[in-house]
């Protein structure tokens, strides 16, 4: 039986990246829908649920994508609501690579710095899909997280949503640009930048001055770097006493996690792969990688 992935994208055009990654992960057929609204989901999911029976149901799965992770969460919730009795198919949420990229970044960090109560992290560009998931995964580990945006209400919104999703989350919103960002990084052991492509959020000088930062990760692959002085290919590279990772350095693990998650979808018909599950999968992959 062929493995079919139903791609539900909140953007008008379904993601090319997600489609190629799915084919590379071994999916036989893609059914791609763009501009999907929560009200559209029930009938699309029913089409996936009613065509195959019992053990064969696991050969159909659903991937939720798009550039808005909150919209993606609404599609995921609508998909779960469409199921009844034993009739269901496995689901994965990865809007703009949010879960897989964030998991790879946080896993890279935990190789070098304890992700625990005593650690403070600063997440720059924390309001995008990737940044939000980075904050969520760090908060789940008990890390104190400074959530940075250019606009306070946006940072507050992220903190509010993450406090609802993660019991006991220690997240604080900050509005900062330029030198204010540099000040925020002063007390952090971990700095992760998830800002938009091609935008510098922390200068090289400010990074070097962040003397308590043991690990610095920049996820932006488009010049200029999001954090000055970091090369995209940095992979645990020592710079000025800091362990550094760039977007390509993190991207290898991200792609492994992404493909492994797609593969996992077709092993059962009742999986929901969101932040926690994808982070756990990534930790297992990293542990097993020599």
Ligand X SMILES: NC(=O)c1ccc[n+]([C@@H]2O[C@H](COP(=O)([O-])OP(=O)(O)OC[C@H]3O[C@@H](n4cnc5c(N)ncnc54)[C@H](OP(=O)(O)O)[C@@H]3O)[C@@H](O)[C@H]2O)c1
Q: Which residues bind ligand X (CB under 6 A)?
A: 96-97, 101, 125, 127-131, 149-151, 154, 194-197, 199, 219-221, 247, 250-251, 254
How many CB atoms sit inside 10 A of residue 256's CB? 17
Distances in Å between the alpha carbon of 33 and those of 15, 99, 101, 284? 10, 20, 23, 32
Place of tokens 């043991």: 214
Closest to ligand X by CB, 120 or 193: 193
Q: Give min distance, CB of 213 to ligand X, in A.
A: 19
254 vs 264 by CB, closer to ligand X: 254
Q: Which residues contact 231 (CB under 8 A, 6 or more apart)?
A: 225, 237, 244, 246
Nearer to ligand X, 81 or 151 (CB): 151
Comparing CA positions, the residue from 217, 210, 196 lying closest to residue 106 is: 217
Half-sphere exposure of 2 (CA within 13 A, CB side): 10
What's the Cα-to-Cα distance from 254 to each of 99, 107, 154, 219, 249, rounded to whole Å? 9, 10, 26, 11, 9
Closest to ligand X by CB, 116 or 152: 152
- Judged by beta carbon, residue 125 or residue 229, the one nearer ligand X is 125
CB of 264 to ligand X, least distance (A): 19
Q: How far is the CB of 130 from ligand X (least distance, A)?
A: 4
**Among 245, 235, 252, CA closest to 213:** 245
Shortest distance, position 128 Cβ to ligand X, whole Å: 3
Minimum distance of ligand X from residue 196's CB (angstroms): 3
C-alpha–C-alpha distance, residues 28 and 4, integer Å: 6
């Amino acid at each position: 039986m062929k493995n079919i992935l139903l791609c539900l994208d909140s953007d008008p055009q379904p993601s090319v990246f997600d489609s190629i990654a799915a084919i590379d992960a071994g999916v036989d057929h893609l059914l791609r829908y763009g501009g999907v609204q929560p009200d559209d989901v029930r009938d699309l999911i029913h089409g996936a649920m009613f065509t195959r029976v019992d053990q064969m149901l696991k050969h159909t799965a659903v991937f939720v994508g798009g550039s808005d992770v909150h919209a993606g969460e609404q599609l995921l919730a609508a998909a779960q609501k469409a199921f009844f009795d034993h009739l269901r198919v496995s689901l994965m949420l990865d809007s703009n690579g949010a879960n897989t990229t964030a998991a790879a970044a946080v896993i890279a960090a935990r190789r070098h710095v304890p992700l625990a109560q005593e650690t403070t992290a600063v997440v720059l560009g924390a309001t995008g899909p990737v940044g939000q998931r980075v904050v969520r995964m760090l908060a789940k580990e008990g890390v104190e997280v400074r959530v940075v945006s250019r606009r306070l209400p946006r940072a507050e919104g992220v903190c509010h949503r993450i406090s609802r999703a993660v019991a006991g989350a220690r997240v604080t919103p900050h509005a900062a640009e330029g030198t204010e960002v540099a000040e925020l990084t002063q007390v952090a052991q971990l700095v992760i930048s998830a800002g938009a492509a091609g935008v510098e959020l922390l200068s090289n000088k400010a990074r070097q001055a962040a003397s308590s930062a043991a690990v610095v990760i920049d996820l932006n692959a488009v010049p200029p770097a999001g954090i000055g002085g970091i090369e995209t290919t940095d992979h645990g590279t020592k710079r000025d006493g800091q362990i550094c990772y760039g977007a390509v350095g993190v991207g290898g693990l991200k792609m492994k996690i992404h493909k492994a998650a797609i593969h996992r979808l077709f092993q059962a018909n009742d999986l929901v792969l969101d932040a926690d599950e994808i982070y756990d999968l990534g930790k297992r992959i990293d542990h097993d990688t020599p």
